[in-house]
Structure 1
Amino acid sequence: MTRDNMLMVGGSGLLAILAYSAMRASDRATWLMEVAPIVIAAPVLIFTYRRFPLTSLLYGLIFCHALILILGGTYTYSRVPLGFWLQDLLSLGRNPYDKIGHFAQGLVPALVAREILIRCGYVSGRRMAAFLAVCVAMAISAWYELVEWWAALALGQGADQFLGTQGDPWDTQSDMFFAFIGASIAMLLLSRIHDRHIAAVDAPTQSALNADGHTDRRSA
């Protein structure tokens, strides 16, 4: 199966899962707020695919992140069964599933930022790319917490399921900390494999340029 076909199958499967979760959602308004990042990101990924396709690694991680968001939206984060299992396993005082979501919220955007920074030539050094990628992930995490705050102000008690604080006064800070952990792990453990995927996705484009008689600026 070609890469394009795999992406089409994955995208179609994700759409089917999203539709099914909408029918099974315990709270439709909360579901919509939780899956909003998918609704926003999916059209962007589709319209930029031909001009700037991402690596297969990133598409796979984005798919996994979307599943995390969908599961959280279906049950609401404080009621996800997987979270209750982890709560019992680790003897925690609350359902920790939302921390998985915030971990992914750091890991995936950090790799997206790193890929854009490197492939578009905005930075030349890998260390600077890693630093800026973590900064971007943390900025996204901070903005998400602001959105939660605005939702709380606008909806009052109706935002409780969306916030998922479960009475934790330090929920905002711990959310951002888990995003930082995710972004840091992405840079420390996935950078090498990410570089290989970047080389693979850039190779066909560079070959096409060389075939047209253009000079590779990196080798000039």
Structure 2
Amino acid sequence: MSDHDTQDRAAEAAELGCAALVDAVGRIHPHRADLLPLISPDPTRPLFGPAATIAYLPYRDDLQQTDFARVFSQAVGPDAQGRVLVLSSGGYPDASHGGGIKLSRGEHRHIAGVLADGRLRDFAQLGGFEFSTWCRGEATRWGGSTVVPYAADVAVEIAGVTVVPGDYIYADTAGAVVIPAGSIDRVLAEARTVDAEDARAVDQVRNERPEEFRR
């Protein structure tokens, strides 16, 4: 998919919004795909793009530590532009999983954004980057003694939802949704149907006559 196609789909997804996309995925796939609302240093910027994943694990002193720069490079690959960096929680969603210094790599590589199932540091710095960031909230304490990045480009679990590398991620103030890559066009089309159905339902409610319900 070209960058132009991704930009068009990002604009369409933002216009439709998370609820319509969640309903559309639910009509096509029986598995859970929705995430409850997350926090962003700039909630005016929705997030959209194919997932590049990093799995975190609880810290152990007897395991060789993996450098974040290395797993970041492995996750996004040679063409990072437009990708969404997805960070699993490793079982500790309240621990910091990164901050402005580590994630500045995303600014240099032109990623679309970050979706973290944990907390992030340096909201002021993250909010100034060109990419969009959504996470569990802001942290001040360094999290490296709690969780560490362990593997890249693998399936991860985010708040009870499986994310496979290449899945499309959308997030806004209403929540987030994980869309299988092979279904992105069907989901967008179905979301347009959902949106049209909702608009018709609103018109029907607007035209209701209260006396009809008093009989």
Same fold (TM over 0.5): no
Sort the TM-score into its range (normalised by shorter chain): under 0.3
Higher helix share: 1
Higher strand share: 2
TM-score for both structures, normalised by structure 2: 0.25
TM-score for both structures, normalised by structure 1: 0.25
